[in-house]
Structure 1
Amino acid sequence: MKEMTVYLQETTNAQPIETLESALLNTNGIERALVDVSDGEVKIMYHEEQITKESVLEKIKEQGFHSVN
């Protein structure tokens, strides 16, 4: 299992964050997704044999978020 950290611009409202967490957790291969609204940090644990880092980032973009790193 791999862990990745992404920093997002749009993490000031709880509702979109809950939607993002839900979308990530419902994605095959993603085990854990935690969002820190204070600094925009998203920690994601995923199974690299089931999903790629690029696919995780694409899923985040699909939810309307943009990475700053």
Structure 2
Amino acid sequence: MRKMTIFVTEAKSQRPIRELEDLLLKEPGVERALVNVADGEVKLELDETEIKESQIIRLIKEAGFHVE
């Protein structure tokens, strides 16, 4: 299991956080996704045999979010 931390600009209010968590948790290989509302920090636990960090970032960007 690999841990990954990123910051998502829009993840600072309830609706975008819910959308982001739902998006991430639907992906095979994403075991856990926690968003800190104060600063947009997203902590993930991934199974790297199923999904890579670059795929996560691409998925987030394609959904219209901005990764810092």
Aligned length in residues:
68
Structure 1: runs of 5 or more not aligned: none
Structure 2: runs of 5 or more not aligned: none
How far residue 62 of structure 1 moved from its aligned partner, in angstroms, is: 2.1
CA RMSD of superposed structures (Å)? 0.9
Q: Deviations over 1:20-68 (max 9, x none)?
A: 1011001011000000010110001000010011001111112221111
TM-score (norm 1): 0.91
Q: What residue identity is the alignment partner of 2:24?
A: L
Q: What residue identity is the alignment partner of 1:56?
A: I
- Counting aligned pairs with the same residue, the percent is 44
Rounded Cα–Cα distance in structure 1 between residues aligned with 2:21 and 2:42: 9
Asked if the contact 2:12/2:39 (under 8 Å) is kept, the reply is: no
SS of residue matched to 2:34: strand
Q: What residue identity is the alignment partner of 1:24?
A: L
TM-score (norm 2): 0.92
Q: What residue identity is the alignment partner of 2:7?
A: Y
